[in-house]
Structure 1
């Protein structure tokens, strides 16, 4: 009898899905993995301790026990997906291949989307002292491919018998940058998802962005991949969700915007709230007391104290 009921239920669900134009297909079970109860994310790996968005920074974050590696994605001229926050080499903390400073006059000259990855890889992004992060360990480093980061992280997890982590990948895009700093949203997402699927980590991926367009493309084409809306504006939850056009898995506001009312509202929508970027123990404690579902920090070493 129970088997008959299960069969009838399955048929009903299938018929409903086929007859409703608004219902998206149910994603496979392996893609429905829940997020951690409290998600501790290493911002750009462990930016406060090692050069941002590099493999050493990601491995350091894993060593410190994060549940999610947070990172930024850009696209090179030859279509490679690489890690970088800025769309160009940032003279504040990055150097020319010769080891020399990037002149002020060329501050935004070296655009990643206008350079092949083979050239991008020759720049040194870890040897220059970065005054904003005085604890950052200096080392020669380069902007890695996303595929390299995944391979390195997965190998480290296996070698050290660690729990599987999530990958929170930000698409660095905005409408004014299309064709100059990055490809259009559809092309950007196609290239990013191709790497994710090649490395077979789809169930462990979150795609986040300040740009609703990339999230909209992802939700339309790959509704099983988790999404996070990054927010630093004062429009409020309802208007931001209305602009996005669907309910994301995560709402990720600037930490100073988090209030008890915002936490309550996001939970009422069934959305997790994970603020950025939280770099003091006191602020972590304040936000956790408000009921947030995770934290994004440049200093994942503070999580042990939390």
Structure 2
């Protein structure tokens, strides 16, 4: 199914949520930062709004750790789960402020006032920036943020989620450069059935064997993406024997990156994509 697709990078350097160690996560400025650093791949997360817009954000709720209200005020801790993306129209989501509040977990993050973008707008921005700067085409590693307990409360059910996401990807004509990743096997199963030409990546944060996880999924994805602590030489060997690339998340120190490379992985997802090029 992938014979006409451009090959994935020999070694994938992926900016996690753009470059969230350096710029507000999942924002257009973070994607541009990652592009300027020279990544092969932009990693990002998607949710769906009440009015059916695909937006680039990680959490089902507007996150008080780094977002502010439309008036620029801090969101009280008791309101941490008040603003559900799936229960607001995009114009409401767009009004929240990103990039004006220091994020304690990422002290190197440069603050720049921004917002939660629609996926369509982010793709346009990236593609226009690549063209304007003469940079090579990058890949998009897009995560569907869903789980069974959140269906029709925090996000659409898998079929509707995939339909909305693929409509944007196909409209923007970037399908050959897309990998869809998820911890939720259901969205990957829908993709495999309805869009077999689209590359998929299974995100892993469990203690099951490679064999068990692939059996649960029901097919062999192009990429196996475990937490970095789960990566061993044996796991890499097993995945390669099944024809899968291994791209762990999230390696954020030079030591972790060196350790992953020594184990033979095919790429790395990092909050600090500058570390790939030091």
Q: Which range, TM-score by smaller chain?
A: over 0.9
Partner of 1:99: 72
| 1:189-200 alignment runs, 5 A limit | 189-200=162-173
Q: Distance in 1 between matches of 2:225 and 2:50?
A: 30
CA deviations over 1:251-283 (Å, ceiling 9, x no partner): 000000000100100000010000000000111
Q: Distance in 1 between matches of 2:123 and 2:202?
A: 23
Partner of 1:68: 41
Select the residue among 24, 37, 50 that pairs with 2:10.
37
Q: Distance in 1 between matches of 2:213 and 2:274?
A: 32
| 1:224-239 alignment runs, 5 A limit | 224-239=197-212
Partner of 2:157: 184
- Structure 2: 5+ residue stretches without partners: none
CA deviations over 1:100-156 (Å, ceiling 9, x no partner): 111122110000000000010000011111000000011211000000110010011
Select the residue among 174, 180, 189 that pairs with 1:216.
189
Q: Distance in 2 between matches of 1:233 and 1:174?
A: 15
**Deviation of the 1:56 alpha carbon:** 0.3
Equivalenced residues, count: 278
| 1:1-306 alignment runs, 5 A limit | 26=1, 29=4, 32-305=5-278
Max Rg structure: 1
TM-score w.r.t. the length of structure 1 is: 0.90
Q: Distance in 1 between matches of 2:269 and 2:2?
A: 27
Q: Distance in 1 between matches of 2:6 and 2:215?
A: 26
Q: Residue 168 of structure 1 aligns to a residue in which SS?
A: strand
TM-score w.r.t. the length of structure 2 is: 0.99
**Deviation of the 1:27 alpha carbon:** 6.0
Q: Distance in 2 between matches of 1:231 and 1:27?
A: 23
CA deviations over 1:146-173 (Å, ceiling 9, x no partner): 0011001001111111111000000000
Q: Distance in 2 between matches of 1:62 and 1:236?
A: 35
Q: Residue 67 of structure 2 aligns to a residue in which SS?
A: coil
Q: Distance in 2 between matches of 1:178 and 1:247?
A: 25
CA deviations over 1:226-260 (Å, ceiling 9, x no partner): 00000000011110000000000000000000001
**Where does structure 1 differ by over 2 angstroms across 4 or more consecutive aligned residues?**
26-29
- Structure 1: 5+ residue stretches without partners: 1-25
Q: Residue 95 of structure 2 aligns to a residue in which SS?
A: coil
RMSD, aligned α-carbons: 0.8
Q: Residue 283 of structure 1 aligns to a residue in which SS?
A: helix
**Deviation of the 1:28 alpha carbon:** 7.3
Q: Distance in 2 between matches of 1:142 and 1:95?
A: 10
